[in-house]
Amino acid sequence: MSANGYRDYFNVLGVERGADADTIKRAFRKLARQHHPDVNPGDAGAEAKFKEVSEAYEVLSDPDKRRRYEQFGQYWSQAGGGSASGGVDVDFGRYGNFDDFINDLLGRFGGPSPGGVPGGFGFSSGFPGGMPGGGRGVPINLDAEASISLSFADAFRGSERTLAVNDERVQVRIPPGVKHGSRLRLKGKGNLQPGTGRRGDLYLNLQLQEHPVWKLDGDQLRAELPLSLDELALGGEVLVATPDGDASVQVPPGMTLGRSLRLKGKGWPLKDGRGDLLLTPVLKLPDQLSAEERQLLERLRAARSADPRSGWIQAARL
């Protein structure tokens, strides 16, 4: 649901706006089966989704409700009357959308009056908050929202996208270092109110795709660093990857698993520079040992002077 309370029922069911009744029914059956509470016991998210798809189907499967929904959007349920109180006759079928209805109504009477409606009529519209300029003075929200999916590389380096907004092609510059859930505001690129020239803003919700190696943790970039047994035990210089390219790092002897190597200023782009890059060593054993490797490990086992579980067994006993 958008910030203005509008729920796109077509998007909820995953169908095109011109979808026929059979398509809508098939989409509902699939989603209802997927999110039914009996199939997802104790899952509050699935229950909420089931209610959402049920609401969408209730509206879009009813020809009259769907017609009003397509005409008046978030105000469809209030647009069911044939006339308004106060003697003002309103034929909703004449209007292409709710904004046209408002503009025509305001144009009939000139300017606002103490009664809250142009021309002094005590008009009770039934719309939430009353009509613009009415009792509570709630304006029409012309803002719009959209989501953009970004690869990890595009989010790291920044990118440009071309969007189709209300039959207009809009060039969007996405700055480097955006994070999952960030919002970009495009001023004056939202919905247009016919007859007034008023236009809202467009808000872009940025969704980052997961990367197989890199994970963003706050302002720090993390990754696991595979190391061999000898590299962990003996240390040394190893070649690693960073977002900027390959680099060499020094692994200290006896590197403990769970500790991290920190590369300062090599992480995620921030407003004041770059965050840190944290590489956490993990032991990577070969899938298959050579004969020489096996002999060396047998010799290591025979020569080992310390028990790795010394004190652990006693401490672990209950």
**pLDDT on residue 87:** 34
Which among 173, 175, 277 has a CA at the least distance from the CA of 216? 277
**pLDDT on residue 234:** 93
Sequence-distant (6+) residues with CB within 8 A of 293 are 286
In the chain the first and final C-alpha atoms are separated, in Å, by 52
- Is the pLDDT score of 123 beyond 70? no
Tens digits of residue pLDDT in 189-204: 888 777 777 888 889 9
Tens digits of residue pLDDT in 255-274: 888 899 999 999 999 988 99
pLDDT band at 104 (very low <50, low <70, confident <90, very high): very low
Neighbours of 189 (CB within 10 A): 22
Fold category of 144-208 in CATH: HSP40/DNAj peptide-binding domain (2.60.260)
CA–CA distances in Å: residue 187 to residues 114, 147, 180: 33, 16, 21
**pLDDT on residue 53:** 87
- Tell me which of 158 and 68 has the higher pLDDT: 158
Would you kindly state where each structural domain of the chain is located, as residue ranges?
9-120, 144-208, 215-313
- Distance CA(138)–CA(230), nearest Å, equals 69
Read off the pLDDT of each residue in 61-78 and give the average, rounded to a whole number.
76
Q: Which of 23-32, 83-92, 117-126, 174-183 has the lowest mean pLDDT?
A: 117-126
Instruction: Report residue 231 as tokens.
Output: 């590299």
Tens digits of residue pLDDT in 42-60: 888 888 898 898 888 888 9
Backbone angles phi, psi at 191, to 5 degrees: -75, 145
- Is the pLDDT score of 66 beyond 70? yes
**pLDDT on residue 5:** 55
Q: Which CATH architecture has domain 9-120?
A: Orthogonal Bundle (1.10)
- Is the pLDDT score of 20 beyond 60? yes
**pLDDT on residue 80:** 55
**pLDDT on residue 280:** 94
- Is the pLDDT score of 95 beyond 70? no
Class of domain 215-313: mainly beta
Which pTM does this prediction carry? 0.52
Q: β-pairing, 277-283 with 220-227?
A: parallel
Average pLDDT, the chain: 78
- Tell me which of 195 and 304 has the higher pLDDT: 304
Sequence-distant (6+) residues with CB within 8 A of 130 are 116, 124, 136, 137, 138
- Distance CA(148)–CA(178), nearest Å, equals 12
- Tell me which of 84 and 309 has the higher pLDDT: 309
Q: Do domains 144-208 and 215-313 have the same CATH topology?
A: yes
Q: Measure CA 7 to chain center.
A: 15
